Structure 1
Amino acid sequence: MMSETIQKYYQTGNYQVLRQFKSKKNRVQLIEISAGQQVIRLIEKTFTEAVALKKELSMLNLLHEMAFSVPECLGQFDRVLLYEYLGGMTLCEKLEIAEVCEPDLFSGPVNRDSEITALLKKTIDWLNRLHQKTGLTFYDINLRNFIVRDNLIYAIDYEDFSKLKPAVDYGRLLAFILTYKPVFTEWKKALIRELEDYLNNEIKVNMDEVRHEKERELARISERRAKLV
């Protein structure tokens, strides 16, 4: 439930936009509300379609009930949802930093204890629990949709949840990791091999299906990027 302070100052427009986040479908902003000497930071997500907001809110409530690590929704206005600001870094940012700061990480025996390896395995665990508990796939596997805070993985953006095979999520995750710039580096390929080993031995998914979905997503990514040239 939204506090009276947040409701009052949000409705009167006594806030400023600090950052605009990338979003293909909606407007997502980090805003700051001033309440006297108190300053509150929130994520403001404005939906283009009311049905998408309804689906996202329904999924968020379900995930909260199941004790998934997701942000708290602090209020709703028309087509706007206000979320708590998690801070932290996205998995995409963590991946980029790891490749720059730890270029030799996968040049020899794989370091299974590295931060980025552990975080991506935690992401797989989060997805596996989603599949097991709800029968749904996340689908929108963009590493910017996963936030790292206090060494935990928080997922955001739930409007694309679908009833598909778990292999779709895992294949898309591997494809996206490979194609963040710089693409298809030996470092990323070694990381993918480690994650595939984890999926095979710990999650015990059908790896033929995962690799098939990975190749399908790689083809879609290549097609999308070709249109931009």
Structure 2
Amino acid sequence: MNKKIDIILQKHIDSYSVKKKFYSKKNEVYLIDVEKSDGQNMLCIFKKYIECTGNKSKETFLLKILRENGLSVPRIYFEGVDYVLLEYLAGDTLLDTIINLEKNQGESFDYERNYIVLFNVFKWLQSLHRITKDTMGRGYIFGDMNFRNFIINDEVYGIDLEDCNCRGYKEQDGGRFCAFLLTYAPIFTKWKLLATKQSVEIMTEEFGYDIHLLKNEIEKELSEINKRRGIKIPYDVIEKILY
């Protein structure tokens, strides 16, 4: 941790230690252990925004609005112009959850167990859209559907709101979700095809996603992944997950 960040933390916290630095392309993000006035220790996330302070303003504004309206997001402990101290959320990332589900189930796909996880993710996204539409007049989408941006414990938490925006539609989030699910290693497995098909069913039947828009967004995102990562997309993947 650099001296500037130490100076920031010392303004707010008497005693702390850095436990871990997280990988981030956009920011400096640390897990810190804070000693409270009662002698108890508390884990927190310190985030220093590097690229754009506008991202910080948007993210903290959304965190406050969403939390006030009952959506599961981290609590803000304190903030400055380009930094914020957030609640640390114990639990597994959605990526770790998916990896473990597939590893434990193998070829035996557990529809009921997987339904609970997938449904709760889409319920969170639907709540994000509804709350922002009700409070600000326009529904927001999540934007960055990296599975590391969701924490699963007793419920689903969204933890990185920098890419949230009101310019898109929910099928964009859905398309990215499906494309990401299919292409996390190991890619395009039977289990992942079934999980993606189940995701499509949940989105369209439970949350009113338009199947044609969703299909277009899945194809678009798979094409982008092919360009970025050189992953060959099976010719029949859309047929297997949609029909």
Same-fold call, TM cutoff 0.5:
yes
Q: Which of the residues 82, 86, 111 maps onto 1:83?
A: 86
2:27 alignment partner in structure 1: 26
Amino acid at match of 1:126: W
1:147 alignment partner in structure 2: 151
Amino acid at match of 2:117: L
- Number of matched residues? 215
- Deviation of 1:65 after TM superposition, in Å, equals 2.0
Which digits, 9 at most, give the CA deviation of each residue in 1:188-228, with x for residues without a partner? 0011111111122111211111111111111112222249x
- Deviation of 1:38 after TM superposition, in Å, equals 2.3
Please give the alpha-carbon distance, in whole angstroms, between the structure 1 residues aligned to 2:14 and 2:188: 46
Deviates more, 1:33-42 or 1:166-175: 33-42
1:125 alignment partner in structure 2: 123
2:15 alignment partner in structure 1: 14
Contact 2:175 2:214 survives alignment (8 Å): yes
Please give the alpha-carbon distance, in whole angstroms, between the structure 2 residues aligned to 1:101 and 1:8: 42
Contact 1:29 1:43 survives alignment (8 Å): yes
- Deviation of 1:131 after TM superposition, in Å, equals 1.9
2:43 alignment partner in structure 1: 41
Q: Which of the residues 51, 62, 67 maps onto 2:65?
A: 62
Please give the alpha-carbon distance, in whole angstroms, between the structure 2 residues aligned to 1:39 and 1:10: 18
Amino acid at match of 1:175: A
2:77 alignment partner in structure 1: 74
TM-score (norm 1): 0.87
Please give the alpha-carbon distance, in whole angstroms, between the structure 2 residues aligned to 1:155 and 1:165: 18
Amino acid at match of 2:64: N
3-state SS of the aligned residue for 1:113? Answer: helix
RMSD: 2.1
TM-score (norm 2): 0.82
Which digits, 9 at most, give the CA deviation of each residue in 1:24-79, with x for residues without a partner? 21122111123574222101111012111111111111111211111101011342
After superposition, the Cα gap between the structure-2 partners of 1:10 and 1:183, relative to the gap in structure 1 and judged at 3 Å, is farther
Unaligned ranges ≥5, structure 2: 1-7, 133-138, 232-243
Please give the alpha-carbon distance, in whole angstroms, between the structure 2 residues aligned to 1:21 and 1:105: 34
Contact 1:9 1:34 survives alignment (8 Å): no
3-state SS of the aligned residue for 1:176? Answer: helix
1:183 alignment partner in structure 2: 187
Please give the alpha-carbon distance, in whole angstroms, between the structure 2 residues aligned to 1:210 and 1:41: 39
Please give the alpha-carbon distance, in whole angstroms, between the structure 2 residues aligned to 1:59 and 1:173: 21
Taking the TM superposition and a 5 Å limit, the aligned residue runs for 1:170-209 are: 170-209=174-213
3-state SS of the aligned residue for 2:112? Answer: coil
Amino acid at match of 1:124: F
